[in-house]
Amino acid sequence: MPLLEVAHLVKRFARRGGIFHRGTAVTAVDDVSFAIEEGETFGLVGESGSGKTTTGRCVLRLIEPTSGSVRFRGEDVLAFSSRRMREARRQMQIVFQDPYSSLNPRMKARQIVEEPLIIHRLGARAARRARVAELFQLVGLDPASLERYPDQFSGGQRQRIGLARALALNPSLLILDEPVSALDVSVQAQVINLLMDLQQQLKLTYLFIAHDLRLVRHVCGRVAVMYRGRIVEMAPAEILFAAPQHPYTRALLSAIPAVDPDAPRARTMLDPALVKPEAALREIAAGHWAAI
């Protein structure tokens, strides 16, 4: 049984009408289905507005999906009561992109990491403190900095605080929404290494949402490519990068600038006429799905 199974997920946002026009609906996520096995790193890539972030948030019900199903260890998450959902969130946590805006500037690092333990009423004060110190060590933060405020940390350290908070409740699934794209280039590799180490150590499963394809290729086992709210291709990373089948995937992969001045530049432009919006995702080879 997959750890997470998303089926026919749809999210429509109502766009409010103004004086001159009626309200319309925007379909941000359009019939998205995928499954993630325990211990896997599953990549969700796409450009801004493709629906990848909305998909991640629907899984946690930070945004309520319009329809579809989300199963976690076989249980229908969307049918959970709010109390049962809170319980379920111990198992599923999210790390946000921007470590500058996602940490409360008026809380000390210790309080930020301790907060989920308090909300879920886990442990007495002393036990919580010990757990926070342990989490600090786990993510490579100096326990001497426990009493500092977020603005006294660098971007990379702040992302470690966000990670420590997400790990506080011992989750099995982490949704990583662009976890390093707001960080300095020279710091990104540190955080990626930490994520890979933690995954091994704690047997974590990652839903890795990113637009940096070089990074996705490096860390993900399987990858799904989103385009205009739909998954247009899904395959093991090495197959997707070696033999992309959907015209959008081809254009996207050919757009990655090579970190090599002598690399051949063969750009494939996306011809919108080649994208069949009605095409269903079908299995074209074992484990390789494409909407062509």
Partner 1 sequence: MTASKCRDSKLGAGTLLAVEHLTTVFDTPHGAVPAVNDVSFDIRTGETLGLVGESGSGKSVTALSIMRLVQPPGRIAAGRIMFNGRDLLALGEPEMRGVRGAEIALIFQEPMTALNPVFTIGDQLGETLRVHHRATRHDVRAKSIALLEAVRIPNAASRIDDYPHQLSGGMRQRVLIAMALSCQPLLVIADEPTTALDATIQAQILDLLRDMKATFDLALLLITHDLGVVAETADRVAVMYAGRIVEEGPVRAIFRNPKHPYTQGLLASMPGGIPGQRLQAIEGSVPQLGALPPGCAFNPRCPNRFDPCVIEPPPDYVVGADQRAKCYLHATASHPEPAADAAVCSPIHPASEGA
| Distance between CA atoms of residues 86 and 44, nearest Å | 25
Our CB check for partner 1 shows the closer of 26 and 269 to be: 269
| Distance between CA atoms of residues 40 and 171, nearest Å | 14
- Which whole-number Å values give the CA distances from 141 to 117, 157, 178, in the listed order? 19, 7, 21
Point out which residues pair with 173 in neighbouring strands. 92, 205
Regarding 155 and contact with partner 1 (CB under 8 A), the answer is yes
Question: Helix 185-202 crosses helix 155-167 at what angle (to 10 degrees)?
Answer: 20
| Distance between CA atoms of residues 201 and 174, nearest Å | 14
Which of 202, 269, 279, 280 is close enough to bind partner 1 by CB under 8 A? 269
What part of residues 198-237 is at the interface with partner 1 (CB under 8 A)?
211-215, 217-219, 237
Regarding 239 and contact with partner 1 (CB under 8 A), the answer is no
Piece of the chain touching partner 1 by CB under 8 A; list 69-77, 82-90, 180-188, 283-291: 180-188
| Distance between CA atoms of residues 227 and 248, nearest Å | 8
Our CB check for partner 1 shows the closer of 56 and 247 to be: 247
Point out which residues pair with 2 in neighbouring strands. none
Residues in the chain: 292
Coil/strand/helix, residue 33: strand
Which of 192, 228, 239, 284 is close enough to bind partner 1 by CB under 8 A? 192
Piece of the chain touching partner 1 by CB under 8 A; list 80-88, 112-120, 260-268, 279-287: 260-268
Regarding 242 and contact with partner 1 (CB under 8 A), the answer is no
Regarding 185 and contact with partner 1 (CB under 8 A), the answer is yes
Phi and psi, residue 187, nearest 5°: -105, -20
What part of residues 38-97 is at the interface with partner 1 (CB under 8 A)?
47-48
Size of the site for partner 1 (CB under 8 A): 43
Piece of the chain touching partner 1 by CB under 8 A; list 12-20, 107-115, 121-129, 263-271: 263-271
| HSE (side-chain half, CA atoms, 13 Å) at 286 | 0
Our CB check for partner 1 shows the closer of 90 and 217 to be: 217
Q: Which residues would be at the binding site for partner 1 (CB under 8 A)?
A: 47-48, 154-157, 184-190, 192-193, 196-197, 211-215, 217-219, 237-238, 251-252, 254-263, 265, 267, 269-270
